[in-house]
Structure 1
Amino acid sequence: MMALSRSAGSWREALLVYFRKPVIVIALLGFSAGLPFLLVFTTLTAWLRLEGIERTSIGFFAWVGLTYSVKIFWAPVVDRLKIPLLTKAFGQRRSWILIGQLGIVAGLLVMSHWHPPQSLLWLAAAAVLVAFSSATQDIALDAYRIEIVKDTMQGAMSAAYIFGYRLALLVAGAGALYLASWGDWPTAYSIMAALAALMVLVTLWADATVRKSAQQRAADEALMVDQVMGRPMHLAQRPAWQRWLLGAVICPFLEFFQRNGAFALLILLFIALFRLSDITMGIMANPFYIDLGYSEEEMANVAKIFGFFMTIAGSALCGVLVVRYGILRPLLLGAVLVSATNLLFALLAVQAGLDMGTQLKPSLAWLALVISADNLSGGIASTAFIAYLSSLTNRSYTATQYALFSSLMTLPGKFISGFSGWVVDSSGYTEFFILASVLGIPAIALVVVLMWHHRQEEQQKRSAEL
């Protein structure tokens, strides 16, 4: 009976944790992080295609997303640079989150005032502003999420963040499509800007984080540099700009390579290639649905709302698999499924005769089947991948290291996806989706290498214990 009582108490405490202020705040800020992403990615490509913009030009818009992939270059600035007045009032993390949110609102309002056929260049510039501001917000928010609570609450914080982020994707995807079908695209983007503005109130309501003192951080970094160099570097006696450069830029990378050795290079290669397949495919998803003959409302019902629930289901399933089998096996499963489900899109294109000039609109049931498989596999792959990246990060350098990983995981895919429209126009959708599937094979191979390396490490640990 005592055991049952303690068990009931633990379950009650686990549920109550979701009603704590930091968890509620991070769920709302997760919404703030997820809202702008689709508005400069797949939702934007749907708007452009419906306005008659050619697919080659739409494909180049994928390069707007490169902003998320190069945020590592200004992550050290967000990590260390204090903003006059704002940092004193709101703290290091919230001040940068606030700057990012204001930039998002401004960019979305500008986007809502341009008509694509006449102002495509200006629309692209505004989209870059939104992406840059969103990436800046992400850098500060990732660090805030880890620093605001103890390690025991990180699971609840991650779950709350993912829920808020996915809900925002639903609003920015299906919600924007509904608004555009009922009214027009400028109105849809104006409403999205208003929602983004509301998130500023969340940042003002949130509590500031407690960080390690500058003196303690400097002492830790001096010790790390001395160990690597093999002699005292006397950092305290060096100019301020050198100390800042070493602490903000060099030490996060130094710690990662010191901990993982030469194998760190293969880890970074894996991070860069894991999402290559799904990012390359994603930029042409909405233009593909439109060319198949589906309306905005049909796309919202199936591709966005139905896909949302299947992604959540995939994430939940992956959580169970990680508990049962660890991270690497679900990671392998996700890599295989993402690559395989791209072939279903190729089959859908063949069924519709889209590349043969005999377009036949497939049934919504067939579309729902393909979308279900794609989002279920995406949920599994994304959840396992986030768990893997989290295991690589040192809490002392969360902002910069996580920015490095998240930049690498999207950079190759964003660059290659810029040519997706050209591939479709040149060879057709069927060949494009087959190519996207093939791009997933290197990630599968690298997961196998990671599993082998992990087994080798475990064997060495057991041998050392004996």
Structure 2
Amino acid sequence: MPPASTPTSRRFRWRDIVEDRRIVLMLALGFSSGLPLLLVLGTFTLRLAFSDIDVKAIGLFSYVALPYSLKFLWAPMIDRMDVPVLTRLLGRRRAWMVTTQVATALCLVLMAFADPKTSLALLGLGAFLVAFCAASQDVVIDGWRIDAAGSDFQGILAATSNLGYRLGLISAGAGALFIAASGGWQVAYLSMAGLMMIGLAAALLAPPYDRPRVRTEAEPASRLWSVRRALLEPLTELRGRFGPVLYAILLLVALYRLPDFLSGVMASPLYRTLGFDLKEIATVSKLYGVWVGIAGGFVGGWALARLGLYRTLVLGAFLAAASHLSFAWLSAGAPEIWRLTVAISIENFCGSFAGIVLIAYMSSLTSPAFAATQYALFSSLYALPGKLIAGSAGFIVAAIGYPGFFILTSLIGLPVLALCWAVGHRTGEAAPRPEESAAGNPPGVPPLPSPARTAAPEPKTA
């Protein structure tokens, strides 16, 4: 294994953005992280809708993305186990990046050659495998990012990762739809598989920022990895720090984006039902909508700085729930581009606002000693209930129609608001972390979330 490199901490200079190669590498890795997501969510459901697959089946296919919500189960293994042969050549982080990126590309090739009309089960299997490999890639890229920068550079790398992630979403959303409209879905998915080589090149060129495994006196050298240290200790630390209120916190995290995930599955079938074509959907939803989402994220960050975490948390829950009424309005009218633009603007802005706020909230809950595993737990938990319930979305639409469905998802946000009010006042009761006291933070007041623990929010399929 190459000797581990340690990023140096130095005074920040703006010209470091163009001088430091970590910026370019992180941009490419963020792109590789964002690219597969829509290929098993929004773009995938559009492919099913334009293949005239029943809306109930489309809802059930949302389950193929579950690995994104369950990655915390195998995150400790990726963080501690070696890839045979490759780890010795590339280092542990880079070996896992290369393995997951190649596997993701191969699974996209499988999806390209699976026809929904004749090989629907094979297509679903390919989508599930893409989600599993891509979620695993996210775990290792987040770990590399955290290890690659000193405290003065984490914010820059996090922002760069988010930019690359958004570019990946544009490519897999608008890019794939434009290609599909001209050359068909097979060409579109093969093109996306080829774009995974951008992340692969970055992984091969990236320095091996692998931190050495830490052994404790009570842990035998032959057992560097144990279930207790990898999974149970991070949970025990959270329980000890927050006490019984932890269960309410976990419930809030799990339900905060529930309305978004439930409604997002039916956005693509709605576009098809209303009569919009692929190019119109690509332009408004997948291209314009992504930039509106970026603007919503920036406003969410500004609100966090001006209003504080608790007030912004409540505001984000309200906006995310209320925004679904715009899709109820869209579904009840004529298929006009201006109406689609208005609905996408409201939905994507509010959804990204809420996503950034939730990331800040989850980041503030983690402890540096277990940051990777705890954040993987929270980031998996926040999407799990929504994705479990999303499979029923098609049946609800079939029963009450699109307008009633989106009004229902908006009403689901009311209990989330109540939970924000109850839990937001109590999270500050946790005992301060050691490094918080050293930094002079008052007991019980959590610090601002470190950019090192943030990740790009999983966007809605709208």
- Please indicate the TM-score interval, normalised by the length of the shorter structure: 0.7 to 0.9
Relative to structure 1, is the Cα distance of residues 274 and 119 closer, same or farther in structure 2, using a 3 angstrom cutoff? same
Deviations 1:32-89 (A, max 9, x none): 1110000001101101111111111111110001111111211111111111221222
Which digits, 9 at most, give the CA deviation of each residue in 1:426-462, with x for residues without a partner?
211011111211222232222212332256679xx97
- Matched ranges for 1:14-413 at <5 A: 14=14, 16-17=16-17, 19-215=19-215, 218=216, 235-236=218-219, 240=223, 244-350=226-332, 352=333, 360-361=334-335, 363-413=336-386
* Offset of residue 399 of structure 1: 2.7
Between 326-335 and 338-347, the greater mean CA deviation after superposition:
326-335
Cα pair distance change 1:28/1:261, threshold 3 Å: same
CA contact (8 A) 1:51 1:116 kept: yes
Helix, strand or coil: the match of 1:82?
coil
- 1:231 maps to none
Q: Identity percentage over the alignment?
A: 38
Q: Indicate the structure (1 or 2) with the bigger Cα radius of gyration.
A: 1
Distance 1:423 1:16, change over 3 A: same
- Write the distance in 2 (CA, Å) between the matches of 1:322 and 1:120: 44
Alignment check: 8 A CA contact 2:430 2:444 kept? no
Equivalence for 1:13: 13
Name the amino acid aligned to 2:226: W
C-alpha displacement of 1:126: 0.7
Q: Give the direction of change, closer, same or farther, for the CA distance of 1:200–1:456 in structure 2 (3 Å limit).
A: closer
SS of corresponding position for 2:13: helix
Distance 2:212 2:362 in 1: 23
**Cα distance between partner residues in 2 of 1:167 and 1:366:** 25
Q: As a proportion of its length, which structure holds more helix?
A: 1
Return the offset for 1:328.
Answer: 2.3
Between stretches 256-265 and 341-350, larger displacement belongs to: 256-265
Please give the alpha-carbon distance, in whole angstroms, between the structure 2 residues aligned to 1:25 and 1:329. 36
TM-score (norm 2): 0.87
Deviation at 1:240, TM superposition (A): 3.0
Write out per-residue CA displacement over residues 80-109 of structure 1, whole angstroms, 9 at most, x where no aligned residue. Answer: 111122122222222212221111101100
State whether residues 334 and 381 of structure 1, in contact with CA within 8 Å, keep that contact through their aligned partners in structure 2. Answer: yes
> Where does the alignment leave 5 or more consecutive residues of structure 2 unmatched?
1-9, 432-440, 446-462
SS in 2 for 1:112: helix
Deviations for 1:150-205, whole angstroms, at most 9, x for unmatched residues?
A: 12212111111111111111110111110011110010000000001232111001
Instruction: Give, in angstroms, the shift of residue 337 of structure 1.
Output: 0.7
Cα root mean square deviation, aligned: 2.3
Question: Which residue is 1:229 aligned to?
Answer: none
1:121-168: CA deviation from partner (whole Å, max 9, x where unpaired)? 000011111000011111111221111111221211111111111111
Kept in 2: contact 1:330–1:380 (CA 8 A): no
CA contact (8 A) 1:33 1:138 kept: yes
- For 2:163, what is the secondary structure of its paired residue? helix
Q: How much has 1:309 moved relative to structure 2?
A: 1.3
2:424 corresponds to = 451
Letter in 1 for 2:173: G
Cα distance, 1:326 vs structure 2: 2.2
Per the alignment, in what secondary structure is the counterpart of residue 439 of structure 1? Answer: helix
How far, CA to CA, are the matches of 1:331 and 1:130 in structure 2?
32
Task: Tell me how far apart the structure 2 counterparts of residues 139 and 454 of structure 1 sit (CA, whole Å).
Answer: 26
Contact between 1:143 and 1:398, CA under 8 Å: does it hold in 2?
A: no
Q: Distance in 2 between matches of 1:201 and 1:28?
A: 8
Matched to 2:223, the amino acid is A
In structure 1, what is the Cα distance between the partners aligned to 2:50 and 2:409? 24
Aligned-residue offset at 1:389:
1.6
User: Number of residues paired by the alignment?
Assistant: 427
Partner deviation per Cα, 1:377-429 (whole Å, 9 max, x = no partner): 11211111112222222233233212211110111011111111111112110
